[in-house]
């Protein structure tokens, strides 16, 4: 059974997304991460994110997700797309799905950050020394590359709820930024 982008399965507790965003507020010195409390990646530090709704592009979804999860208003003009991840996930029942995740950096925002039901409050970490051991398996490999200024296409193979890496692990290739902009959700 194939799911629409942004729709959650009613058959199982495991969330299934086909198009998603992952947003990291950044400054020249810091990257902001929060403790993921629910769904995919629970228990790990991460950026804000979630499914891209039918009427959205990745930039609109990024602004909405950061507002919902952290109460911050992102300046859409400050968003930079830094990676596209094809996350191949094996569910607990053995079925697989692939989610295309648009990774963006937010360089300007307003508001007072807050904790939400899904995410802990965003905390600043040294941009060149993020706590990789506290991030999701797989993210530990490509994330330092984008923090160093590279733009990437990433493939990662993960187990149920993305808590583990599968045998194939993670592969990435550096691409020109324009190539990432060509990869966008269907609206």
Sign of torsion over alpha carbons 167, 155, 16, 51: positive
Architecture of the domain whose range is 19-182: Alpha-Beta Complex (3.90)
Residue 131 is predicted with a pLDDT of 98
Largest CA distance in the chain: 44
Q: What is the pTM of this model?
A: 0.89
Q: Using one digit for the tens of pLDDT, what is the confidence trace for 156-169?
A: 999 887 888 998 88
Domain regions of the chain by residue span: 19-182
pLDDT over 70 (residue 187): no
The model's pLDDT over 78-134, given as tens digits with 9 standing for 90+, comes to: 999 999 999 998 888 888 999 999 999 999 999 999 999 999 999 999 999 999 999
Q: Is the pLDDT of residue 4 over 70?
A: no
CB-CB neighbours of 186 under 10 Å? 8
The percent of the chain in helix, strand and coil, each rounded to the nearest 5, is: 20, 40, 40
């Amino acid at each position: 059974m194939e799911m629409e982008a942004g729709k959650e399965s009613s058959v199982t507790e495991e969330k299934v997304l086909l198009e998603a965003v992952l947003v990291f507020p950044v400054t020249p010195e810091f990257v902001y991460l929060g403790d993921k409390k629910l769904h995919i990646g629970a228990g790990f530090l991460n950026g804000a994110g979630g499914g891209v709704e039918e009427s959205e592009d990745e930039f609109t979804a990024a602004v909405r997700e950061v507002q919902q999860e952290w109460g911050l208003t992102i300046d859409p003009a400050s968003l930079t797309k830094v990676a596209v991840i094809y996350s191949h996930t094996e569910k607990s029942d053995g079925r697989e799905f692939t989610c295309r995740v648009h990774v963006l950096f937010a360089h300007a925002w307003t508001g007072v950050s807050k904790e939400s039901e899904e995410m802990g409050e965003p905390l600043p970490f040294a941009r060149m020394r993020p706590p990789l051991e506290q991030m999701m398996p797989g993210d530990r490999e490509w994330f330092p590359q984008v923090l160093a200024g590279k733009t990437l296409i990433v493939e990662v193979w993960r187990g149920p709820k993305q808590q583990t890496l599968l045998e194939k692990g993670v592969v990435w290739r550096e691409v020109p930024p324009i190539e990432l902009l060509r990869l966008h959700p269907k609206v």
